[in-house]
Amino acid sequence: MRPADPRRAQVRTAALAGAALAAAVAGCVFAAVGTVAADGSRAEEAAGPVSAARAVVAAADAATVIDPADRPAAPALTGDDLDGKPVGPDGFRGHVVVLNVWGSWCGPCRAEADDLARIDRQTRDQGVRFLGINTRDPDRAAARSFVRAHGLGFPSLHDPTGELLLRFPPALLNPQAIPSTLVIDRRGRIAVSIGGPVTADELGPLLSRVTGEAP
């Protein structure tokens, strides 16, 4: 086991600052608390200064898992779904929530949608709930067609202007990065951030990690 590094807290602070700058300048999502491979294993950031350029490189095609002690609270989301029905936080309280940002106009969203539908069905009995945010789709009809085409069984908030996305920390959910996925733990905190499309093979181990945590 690697001995504890007394500079770890300082490194984490520097990494998060670099991540925020990278997200603002380069449109990348990165929290720099540890990148996670498809098998759920974690590679800690080595001690030392972290530049914005490093953050951008590390963010590419990677998920970011946040230590429980460092997880920020996810904002409460309310609004109407694609059928105009209200959606609120009560149905998700106490569950692990997968929050997926998508648009019917988005090619990578189409590429990941079937995997999301499948893993939603597979994990429901484990206490996982999926919630979408449909963004930049002024026409609900196009979004509903997308849902039917891919057999999505979870609700999606209709957010045509992207207002809901601005409630999240930009280093964890860049409103310009579509699709994006967050995993929110049972205590309502952001546990995982994924910028770009995700597959079932990538998301499954991350969900297992969060659902396996003590409530």
Chain center to CA of 98: 7
Query: Looking at this protein, which amino acid is placed at residue 63?
Result: A
**What's the confidence (pLDDT) of residue 75?**
95
**What's the confidence (pLDDT) of residue 90?**
86
**What's the confidence (pLDDT) of residue 59?**
35
Map residue 41 onto helix, strand or coil: coil
Half-sphere exposure of 134 (CA within 13 A, CB side): 28
Tokens of 11: 């490194």
Burial of residue 192, with CB atoms counted within 10 A of its CB: 0-12 exposed, 13-18 middle, 19 or more buried: buried
**What's the confidence (pLDDT) of residue 187?**
96
Tokens of 35: 């990148």
* Separation of alpha carbons 127 and 9, rounded Å: 33
Tokens of 138: 């002024």
**What's the confidence (pLDDT) of residue 214?**
87
Query: Looking at this protein, which amino acid is placed at residue 4?
Result: A
Q: Are 75 and 167 in contact (CB under 8 A)?
A: yes
**What's the confidence (pLDDT) of residue 62?**
73
Q: Where in the chain is the domain with CATH 3.40.30.10?
A: 79-211
Torsions phi, psi for 164 (to 5 deg): -65, -35
What homologous superfamily does CATH list for 79-211?
Answer: Glutaredoxin (3.40.30.10)
Written as tens digits, the pLDDT of the chain (215 aa) is 444 444 433 333 333 333 333 333 333 333 333 333 333 333 333 333 323 322 322 333 579 999 999 999 999 999 999 999 999 888 899 999 999 999 999 999 999 999 999 999 999 999 999 999 999 999 999 999 999 999 999 999 999 999 999 999 999 999 999 999 999 999 999 999 999 999 999 999 999 999 999 88
Chain center to CA of 117: 16
